[in-house]
Amino acid sequence: MGIFSFRTIGWYGAGLAWLRFFAWGCYFHIGADGAALKKTFVGMSYGALIAGVALALVVHNPVALPSLIAAPVYIAITVFFLVIFASLPLLLCAKYQFCCYVDDPQLY
């Protein structure tokens, strides 16, 4: 635990500590075996990817929506894709996608 704490010192490292904690909890929640590792990695990677897309849309506002409604609209669109693809076998654990979706923008 000391090495883990040492590696996560700093602002950016503190964000990574939360992501590691989420990944650890998700992995053990669904069985702690090979299939759980695969589902955790794919699900959390997908959540991070969609969060990155949402952040890019909010920052660049490609449709030129009014600033008051731009962020809620873009977030609703990306969360829609999180929910729609949650029926795929590797993305079946939607809560892990949402954990990573919520925590990922804190790293930017």
Task: Note the pTM of the prediction, 2 decimals.
Answer: 0.72
30 φ/ψ angles, rounded to the nearest 5 degrees: -105, 20
Query: Packing angle between helix 11-29 and helix 94-103, nearest 10 degrees?
Result: 170
Lookup result for tokens 């990944």: 23
Q: Where are the domains of the chain?
A: 2-107
Interval 66-92: pLDDT, tens: 888 988 999 899 989 888 888 887 777
Contact 88, 101 (CB under 8 A): no
64 φ/ψ angles, rounded to the nearest 5 degrees: 60, 45
Give mean pLDDT, residues 53-59: 88
Rounded to whole angstroms, the Cα distance separating 80 from 46 reads: 13
What 8-state DSSP symbol labels residue 1?
-
Q: Residue 1 above 60 pLDDT?
A: no
